[in-house]
């Protein structure tokens, strides 16, 4: 904490140089990245929940988790690189939600977690 306070205020610190390197070049960027990723996940979860009629509807009900898992498994099965596995997973999640909400249109009024019916 002393290192961060001294960096903000510009006052000298008595910590060794290797501590400053670890905190400012290794740990610091990782902590900031974790904060940004966490905020992005929170915003995505809020937006996803906002699309449901009931705010307590988990993503499993609409099939996004299973579809994303299937897409990732297909990407791994076809020996794709990490980026394409993520694209497969994203496309699988979208396809699963599209399929579940599309099939729910035929039974309007019977689903609880989708306002698209």
Q: What is the pLDDT of residue 98?
A: 85
The tokens for 50 are 């906002």
- Checking if the pLDDT of 55 tops 70, the result is no
pLDDT reading at 13 higher than 80: no
The predicted pLDDT at position 111 comes to: 47
CA–CA distance, 33 with 1 (Å, rounded to integer): 19
Judged against a pLDDT cut of 80, whether residue 49 lies above it is answered with: no
Question: How confident is residue 31, by pLDDT bands cut at 50, 70 and 90?
Answer: very high
Q: State mean pLDDT over 72-99.
A: 94
Q: Where are the domains of the chain?
A: 1-50, 52-117
With beta carbons less than 8 A apart as the criterion, state whether 98 and 90 touch. no
What is the pLDDT confidence band of residue 117, given thresholds at 50, 70 and 90?
A: very low
Report whether pLDDT(9) > 60: yes
Has residue 43 got a pLDDT over 70?
Answer: yes
pTM for the whole structure: 0.56
Report the Cα 16 to chain-centroid distance in Å: 37
Q: Which residue has the higher pLDDT, 24 or 66?
A: 66
Alpha carbon distance 24, 35 (integer Å): 16
Average predicted confidence (pLDDT) for the chain: 81
């Amino acid at each position: 904490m002393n290192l961060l306070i001294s960096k903000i205020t510009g006052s000298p610190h008595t910590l060794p140089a290797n501590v400053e390197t670890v905190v400012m070049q290794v740990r610091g960027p990782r902590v900031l990245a974790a904060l940004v990723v966490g905020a992005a996940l929170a915003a995505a979860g809020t937006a996803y929940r906002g699309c449901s009629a009931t705010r307590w509807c988990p993503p499993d009900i609409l099939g996004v988790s299973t579809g994303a898992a299937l897409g990732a498994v297909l990407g791994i099965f076809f020996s794709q690189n990490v980026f394409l596995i993520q694209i497969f997973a994203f496309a699988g999640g979208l396809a699963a939600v599209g399929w579940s909400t599309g099939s729910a249109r035929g039974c309007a009024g019977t689903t609880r977690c989708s306002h698209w019916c």
